[in-house]
Amino acid sequence: MTRYELRSALQSEANQIKDLINSVGINPTGLDWKRFIVAVGENGQVIACGQVKPHSGNIRELASIAVHPEHRGEGIARAVIELLLRENQFPMYLMCMSHNMPIYEKFGFQAITGHQLPRYFLRVKKLFIIANMFRKSDEELLVMKLE
């Protein structure tokens, strides 16, 4: 099991955060190092991260949860998520691919649809549906909420 320190990100780690997000292939928009929690390994490298992104209407989104592939399965993502949930107010939203739904259900998130979706998430979901017509994937983009 990897030893790591879980803490708020430092400005000097902004590029490591971006590199990690890009390497795992998740949404690279809205990355502000000031909002991030990071797990830093003994070598000083960011091995995991996550943030809560603010949106209009006092909506908060759990986002950018990423763990370096070499450190998956060690409970680091869980630690990042738990810290972010402890430090932020509810309700909390997130977007994920449908295969990730069971992960977030463990924290109490529930999938929402239709009129339950705040405008921002409704727009993103519509764009995903259009893009998915070209990708032809069976994956669905879910919006989940924790009260």
**pLDDT tens profile 63-79:** 999 999 999 999 999 99
Q: Cα angle at 64 between 63 and 70, to 5 degrees?
A: 140
Q: Give the residue extent of every domain in the chain.
A: 1-88, 90-147
The pLDDT value recorded for residue 60 is: 97
How far, in Å, CA of 7 to CA of 43, rounded? Answer: 15
**CATH superfamily for domain 1-88:** Gcn5-related N-acetyltransferase (GNAT) (3.40.630.30)
Judge contact between 50 and 42, C-beta under 8 A: no
Read off the pLDDT band of 54 (50, 70, 90). Answer: very high
Residues 91-138: pLDDT tens digits? Answer: 999 999 999 999 999 999 999 998 899 999 999 988 888 887 787 778
Q: What is the pLDDT of residues 4-39, one digit of tens each?
A: 999 999 999 999 999 999 999 998 989 999 999 999
Which residue type occupies 88?
N
pLDDT of residue 129: 81
